[in-house]
Structure formats: C-alpha cells, structure tokens
Amino acid sequence: MEIWNKKKLSEVADVIGGGTPSTNNFEYWEGDIPWITPKDLSGYNERYISKGSRNISLLGLKNSSSRILPKGSVLLTSRAPIGYIAIAKNEVCTNQGFKSLVLKEGNDSQFFYYLLKNNIEYIKNMSSGSTFSEISGTQVKNLEFSIPPLETQQKIAKVLSVFDDKIELNNKINENLEQQAQAIFSNFISNCETEEIKVSDITSKANTGADAIQKAPIVDYDTGIKCIRVGDMSNNRDFYHWGYTKVSDEVFRQYQLKKDDILITRTAMLGLNKLIVQDLNAVYNNGLIRLTVNKNKIFPLILYRQFQTQDFFNFINRIESETSVRPNMKINYLLNYQFKIPNITKQKELVVLLSPLFLLKEHVSTENNKLIQLRDTLLPKLMNGEIDVDKIKI
C-alpha cells in the first residue's frame, strides 16, 4: 500500500479562528458576505453551506476580528456546541465559535471533511473550560493524522460522496413532501367549517416517559427493547438506531410505544414530535410526552400535522422566551394548546390526502438511515487504509 504520512493539521492547512464585530451597529449587518454561526450548522444535514441566517457588511467585517474564508474551507464548530462540520460552498465569514481549515495546495476539502467527521468524538473530548466547553486553535493545529496523497484523498472522498449525494437528494425530496403536506393541510382547514378545541379535549391519555436512570437506563447490549430519547428525535434517528434499555415487564407495559401514539419533546429542544406508525418493542424516557388521542374526535395524523404548523411552534416558543434557564415543558402547558379542527367526516377526507405523503416520507427516511449506516461503517475503514479504494468501482 502507498505510504500515508503522519501530519499535523497545521502542516496541511491554515487553522483560522472566527471573530465578532466590535459592536452590533446595524450598519454592520444586511451586507453581502455570508456570516456563519454554530447555530446555522445545528442540525445541518448537508456537507456544503453557502450562507447563514445573517450577512455582514464590508464595514462590519473591517471592524471585526473575523476574516473572509475562501471557497472549500472546512468549518468546524469549536464551542457552543463542538463538532458540527461543513464545507464552505463560497466565500464566508464565521463567528468566534469556529476553528476552520483553509487547506494548502495538494489537499482535498471533502477528504478533510470526512477525516474530521471520523474523528469527531476524539476532537470533542479535547475540549475544556469552566463556563462552556471549547477547543483552541492550538489544539486543532496539533491534531495529527495519517494523510494519503491527493489522488487517494480524492478517491476516498468520491466513495463517501456517493452516499451523501443520495442522502442529500432524499432530504430534498422529504423537504418537498413536507411542503406539500403543509400546503394541503393549511388549505383544507381554511376552506371548511371548524371548531376550536384544546389538546386536552381530544386526548384520552398523556404522560411523560420512564425515568432515564432508574426505570429505563440505556445499556450497551441487546435487550430486545429500545428506548427513544430527545436526541433521537432531534437527530431524526430511526428505530434501529435508538439505544437499548433494560426495563421490568411492568415498566415496559406502562411505557410501550403503540401505533398512533404521538411523542413530543419536553426538554432541550421543545416541541419536536413523532407519530408512531406501528406497535414497537420500545419505550420512551422522561424527556418526552406521549399522547394517546380519542379517535372518535380526531385522527392521530391530523393532530400530528397540526403539531407541524407555525402556530404550534409559536406556542412552544413562548416557553423559551419566558425563562432564562433550560426550558422544560409541563404536560398541562401542552394540553392547553388550542387549535381548530373540522368534524371527523371532513378529517377523514384530509387523512386520505395526507397519508400517501406521510408514508412516502417515512420510506425515504428509512432509506436514508440505511445509507447513513453504510457510510458510517465504511468511513473508518477508508480513513485507516483498511479498504483499498483502487478496488472499488463507482
């Protein structure tokens, strides 16, 4: 096999920290230069990023400790939180939450994106800080890896990109399906007679999940029973990627997930929700609320779709605006949410329109999870030279 040389990142890239304008003067914003923050990468599901939620002006950049990063720079969040990665699709600037790689000639951006991705847990564990965790520029510069020649870098990146190209295409398909579903739901509701109700009016049962330490702890062996947590919801993990848990028969009976249950996150990221489509050998922990609806009053899919509306997110966001501490949603707050629904006959008509879109989204999400699993199985093998890329045909 060809020689892979051990090199520090400082040997293959300039490690550039982000910055911040010296003041929040309004003249510094609404410019033409994309300004990326860690929040812009939070939950980001693509390799390339072209813009953030704000643009900075040339005046703002001049009064900033940041600098323009060229196209192809590998962006790594170094605090709040650590470990999100993306490649700049064009020139961008970043705030102080980044340590970015501006690669020297003879190195491939996509390869280094995957290299960091493969070592992200190690990178996270380097962090320190009493107020919040952070990794320094010196730590990133001193990271040392075995680096192959450029041609091999490009071949490895090409293999892994086949998976990510399809994953990103599927994400776009699901985004389109979601937009269609939102439009159908909104138009249908606005064009028929409705009555205003509370969640409590159409719920037969609501409770938080099992205690995460005593009743449903996550274990590192196969118990035959899974447990869904807030992180599984926020990262859109399917059933096969939930952790195993060890629970008593009594706890399993009490917290087993059944067809048509609706789960809603109540801590960390509030209001994320999921409709369970079949009985599962799984429970849910106390970071989640489970609703069981009265099907004589509402179809589960209708309530799930209502929970995808901006109206619901606005209702949830009030919790975060009313507290400076980590938000926590009580069941009664959720049960007091008011919305409008048509009668059960009209709901049935709406379900007929929405069901095909929902099922197709579920199918695409399942395919993506399989692709992610395959990619992540190949990733370390390719990065340590275990697999000879010259023998892979694409």
3-state secondary structure 2-20: CCCEEEEHHHHEEEEECEC
Classify residue 226: in a domain, yes or no.
yes
Report the C-alpha gap between 349 and 100 in whole angstroms.
52
Domain containing 162 — which CATH number? 1.10.287.1120
pLDDT of residue 325: 58
Residue 125 shares a structural domain with residue 85: yes
Rounded (5°) CA angle 368-370-372: 70
164 with 270, same domain: the answer is no
Distance from C-alpha of 61 to C-alpha of 48, rounded to nearest angstrom: 22
| Residue 36 covered by a domain | yes
Q: Is residue 394 one of the residues assigned to a domain?
A: no
270/336 same-domain check: yes
C-alpha separations of 117 from 9, 142, 292 in Å = 14, 17, 39
How does residue 190 score in pLDDT terms, banded at 50, 70 and 90?
A: very high
Residues 261 and 212 in one domain: yes
- C-alpha neighbours within 13 Å on the C-beta side of residue 96: 7
What is the predicted pLDDT for the residue at 241?
Answer: 84
Comparing 26-40, 86-100, 119-133, 210-224, the range with the smallest average pLDDT is 119-133
Whether 393 is in a domain gets the answer no
State how far the Cα of 75 lies from the Cα of 101, in Å rounded to an integer: 7
The answer to whether residue 295 is domain-embedded is yes
User: What is the Cα–Cα distance from 153 to 105, expressed in whole angstroms?
Assistant: 13
Domain for residue 16, yes or no?
yes
Give yes or no: residues 213 and 293 share one domain. yes
pLDDT band at 81 (very low <50, low <70, confident <90, very high): confident
Q: What is the pLDDT of residues 15-70, one digit of tens each?
A: 999 998 877 778 888 899 999 999 898 767 789 999 999 999 999 998 888 999 99
For residues 13 and 118, membership in a common domain is answered with yes
What does the pLDDT read at residue 16? 96
Same structural domain for residues 230 and 307?
Answer: yes
Residues 94 and 223 in one domain: no
Give the confidence band of 217 by pLDDT, cuts at 50, 70, 90. very high
Confidence tier at 150 by pLDDT (50, 70, 90) = very high
Residues 28 and 72 in one domain: yes
Number of domains composing the chain = 3
Q: Give the residue-averaged pLDDT of 347-364.
A: 96
pLDDT at 129: 63
My answer on whether 136 and 220 are in the same domain is no
Instruction: Report the C-alpha dihedral over residues 205, 209, 214, 218, rounded to 10 degrees.
Output: 140
Task: Indicate if 40 and 125 belong to the same structural domain.
Answer: yes
- Mean pLDDT within 77-105: 94
CA–CA distance, 126 with 68 (Å, rounded to integer): 27
As a whole number, mean pLDDT of residues 82-93 equals 96
To the nearest whole number, what is the mean pLDDT of the chain? 92
More confident: 248 or 132:
248
Domain boundary among 86, 113, 147: 147
| Sign, CA torsion 227/231/237/241 | negative
List Cβ neighbours of 25 (8 Å cut-off, separation of 6 or more): 60, 63
Read off the pLDDT of residues 245-271 as tens digits, 9 standing for 90 and up. 999 999 999 999 999 999 999 998 899
Domain, as residue range, for 243: 195-341
Report, as an integer, the average pLDDT of 223-231: 95
212 domain residue, yes or no: yes
CATH number at residue 77: 3.90.220.20
pLDDT at 64 (0 to 100): 87
| Cis omega (within 30 of 0) for bond into 70 | no
Together in a domain, 18 and 140: yes
392 domain residue, yes or no? no
Instruction: Report whether pLDDT(121) > 80.
Output: yes
